[in-house]
């Protein structure tokens, strides 16, 4: 008696710490218990590590030992999504999905990204304070919808944007983690509303697939490439799989990039010296720089990396060990969740001196290993959109800063909090326009 409430309290405190202050709580536990350590949460107990050697061992382990974590994202991404696939099926899916997302292909979208970036911040009056994330979200949805479906008609893009945003808004973390609410309630409950939005998005995806099938000539968007992709047996992606992969790409590729861009703008406007150095680098390229020139700028790249280090969108990776597996002499039992904690590694002062400071310079003279810097995860499940995201971040951030000038808004520092499996700013990020942004 008494043990259960104490255990529940302990798990609640850990879960709360993970949601609201992951970096500090994980560091405290690693200092107290060593690395790796066990973290009991309300969900289950995780084995957590931030040690680059352990992280590298997890990422380079036999992929058949490292299963995906759980199905909480299934209602959002579908049961056919690559994110939840295992073993040979996962490898087959990645092989089909990787070529259209290859870095070299993304260059074709440079002008789309630059124009979407300038457009998203157009029309802000001088002196006007505005929220940054709704604008970066519009930007990244614009890019992803054009890149995946080759859409150019503003009305069609708008319709897509509205249904994708609605699906994301109607599946917040509290609904994701409350499976008992995943049932109809006379058409008026949160699950009914979410299901209606999902049906609307899936109908639109089916329409786009039909459109791409009927007029494939001359198309080189991601959907067209996926339709022509064949696996080793010459088979195309079956339609239910294609549908789930498309919604995975739209959802995984949108919020992540939008939030990172928002953080980059926030951090830069809190750090005038860094912003000044970046502006010096951008200056010679003029107000509408070429995307290829932007993607080659070293300091701009370092600013994006430093943003991803300090504000990782997925702060803790997760793998479920399929069979007993040994990590540095510790036997990890089959079924255990093992978690490389980005928030531990990225804030380790031995790797990153003064880890809480925004210092892009650290990435200019140092190339971290995959176990030292992993905002896109690693190994066989590493982010499939990493090349696209890295390119988009540089081109979008460079284009916005070259075209406009903003000031930061004074106030207490904005923390990052968990929202489902990703993080978001605890309060709105706001900036003020210095001069009129061309309308």
What is the three-class DSSP state of 334?
coil
Task: Kindly tell me which of 39 and 148 has the beta carbon lying closer to ligand HEM.
Answer: 148
Q: Measuring CA to CA, how many Å separate 273 from each of 21, 252, 260, 407? A: 27, 33, 20, 13
Lay out the site mask for ligand HEM across 53-82 (x = CB under 6 A, - = otherwise). Answer: -----------------------------x
CB of 385 to ligand HEM, least distance (A): 2
Task: Kindly tell me which of 78 and 377 has the beta carbon lying closer to ligand HEM.
Answer: 377
Nearest to 166 by CA among 210, 207, 204, 132: 204
DSSP string, 178-228: -GGG-S--TT-SHHHHHHHHHHHHHHHHHHHHHHHHH--TT--SHHHHHHH
CB of 349 to ligand HEM, least distance (A): 23
DSSP string, 76-126: HH-TT-GGG--HHHHHHHHHHHTGGG-HHHHGGGHHHHHHHHHHHTTTPPT
CB of 313 to ligand HEM, least distance (A): 4
The owner of tokens 């039909």 is 210
Q: Binding to ligand HEM by residue 260, rule CB under 6 A? A: yes
Q: Binding to ligand HEM by residue 257, rule CB under 6 A? A: yes
Task: Kindly tell me which of 307 and 437 has the beta carbon lying closer to ligand HEM.
Answer: 307
Q: Binding to ligand HEM by residue 381, rule CB under 6 A? A: yes
- 16-19, Cβ contacts within 8 angstroms, sequence gap of 24 or more: 18/316, 18/418, 19/417, 19/418
- Total residues interacting with ligand HEM, rule: CB under 6 A: 25
Q: Binding to ligand HEM by residue 139, rule CB under 6 A? A: no
Q: Binding to ligand HEM by residue 320, rule CB under 6 A? A: no
- Per CB under 6 A, the list member of 50, 63, 360, 378 interacting with ligand HEM is 378
- Per CB under 6 A, the list member of 282, 388, 400, 401 interacting with ligand HEM is 388
Q: Binding to ligand HEM by residue 383, rule CB under 6 A? A: yes
Q: Binding to ligand HEM by residue 395, rule CB under 6 A? A: no
Q: Binding to ligand HEM by residue 133, rule CB under 6 A? A: no
- Per CB under 6 A, the list member of 237, 313, 341, 344 interacting with ligand HEM is 313
Task: Kindly tell me which of 201 and 249 has the beta carbon lying closer to ligand HEM.
Answer: 249
CB of 125 to ligand HEM, least distance (A): 30
Whether the ω angle into residue 36 lies within 30 degrees of 0, i.e. cis, is yes
Task: Kindly tell me which of 78 and 433 has the beta carbon lying closer to ligand HEM.
Answer: 78
> Which run of H or E residues covers position 282?
helix 272-282
CB of 354 to ligand HEM, least distance (A): 23
Q: Binding to ligand HEM by residue 253, rule CB under 6 A? A: yes
- The answer to whether 308 and 372 have CB atoms below 8 angstroms apart is no
Counting beta carbons within 10 angstroms of the beta carbon of residue 347, is it exposed (0 to 12), middle (13 to 18) or buried (19 or more)?
buried
How many degrees, rounded to 5, is the angle at CA 62 between CA 345 and CA 18?
A: 30
d(CA 266, CA 263): 5
d(CA 198, CA 82): 18
Q: Binding to ligand HEM by residue 385, rule CB under 6 A? A: yes
Please count the residues of the chain: 439
Q: Binding to ligand HEM by residue 314, rule CB under 6 A? A: yes
d(CA 305, CA 232): 36
What is the three-class DSSP state of 160?
helix
Q: Binding to ligand HEM by residue 109, rule CB under 6 A? A: no
- Per CB under 6 A, the list member of 18, 22, 176, 249 interacting with ligand HEM is 249
Task: Kindly tell me which of 163 and 260 has the beta carbon lying closer to ligand HEM.
Answer: 260
Task: Kindly tell me which of 17 and 379 has the beta carbon lying closer to ligand HEM.
Answer: 379
Interface residues with ligand HEM (CB under 6 A) are: 82-83, 94, 101, 248-249, 252-253, 256-257, 260, 313-314, 317, 375-378, 381-385, 388-389
């Amino acid at each position: 008696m008494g043990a259960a409430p104490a255990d529940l309290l302990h798990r609640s405190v850990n879960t709360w710490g993970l949601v609201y202050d992951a970096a500090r709580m994980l560091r405290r536990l690693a200092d107290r218990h060593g690395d790796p350590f066990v973290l009991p949460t309300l969900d289950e107990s995780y084995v957590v590590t931030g040690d680059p050697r352990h992280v590298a061992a997890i990422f380079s382990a036999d992929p058949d030992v490292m299963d995906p974590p759980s199905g909480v994202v299934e209602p959002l991404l579908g049961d056919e999504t690559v994110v939840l696939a295992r073993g040979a099926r996962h490898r087959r899916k990645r092989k089909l999905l990787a070529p259209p997302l290859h870095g070299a292909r993304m260059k074709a979208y440079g002008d789309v990204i630059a124009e979407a970036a300038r457009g998203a911040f157009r029309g802000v009056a001088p002196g006007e304070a505005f929220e940054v994330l709704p604008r970066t979200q519009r930007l990244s949805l614009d890019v992803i919808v054009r890149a995946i479906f080759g859409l150019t008609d503003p009305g069609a893009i708008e319709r897509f944007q509205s249904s994708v945003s609605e699906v994301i808004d109607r599946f917040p973390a509290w609904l994701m983690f409350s499976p008992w609410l995943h049932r109809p309630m006379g058409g008026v409950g949160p699950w009914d509303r979410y299901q209606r939005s999902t049906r609307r998005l899936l109908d639109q995806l089916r329409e786009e697939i039909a459109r791409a099938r009927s007029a494939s000539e001359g198309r080189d968007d991601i959907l067209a490439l996926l339709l022509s992709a064949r696996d080793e047996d010459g088979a195309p992606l079956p339609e239910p799989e294609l549908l789930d992969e498309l919604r995975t790409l739209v959802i995984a590729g949108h919020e992540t990039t939008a939030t990172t861009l928002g953080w980059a703008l926030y951090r830069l406007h809190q750090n005038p010296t860094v912003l000044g150095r970046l502006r010096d680098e951008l200056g010679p390229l003029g107000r509408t720089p070429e995307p290829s020139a932007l993607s080659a700028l070293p300091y701009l790249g370092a600013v994006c990396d430093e943003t991803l280090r300090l504000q990782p969108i997925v702060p803790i990776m997760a793998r479920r060990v399929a069979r007993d597996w040994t990590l540095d002499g510790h036997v990890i039992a089959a079924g255990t969740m093992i978690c490389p904690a980005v928030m531990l590694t990225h804030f380790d002062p031995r790797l990153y001196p003064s880890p809480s400071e925004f210092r892009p310079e650290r990435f200019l003279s140092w190339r971290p290993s995959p176990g030292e810097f992993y905002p896109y995860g690693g190994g066989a499940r590493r982010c499939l959109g990493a090349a696209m995201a890295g390119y988009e971040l540089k081109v979008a951030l460079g284009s916005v800063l070259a075209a406009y000038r903003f000031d930061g808004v004074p106030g207490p520092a904005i923390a990052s909090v968990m929202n489902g499996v990703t993080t978001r700013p605890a309060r709105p990020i706001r900036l003020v326009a210095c001069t009129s942004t061309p309308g």
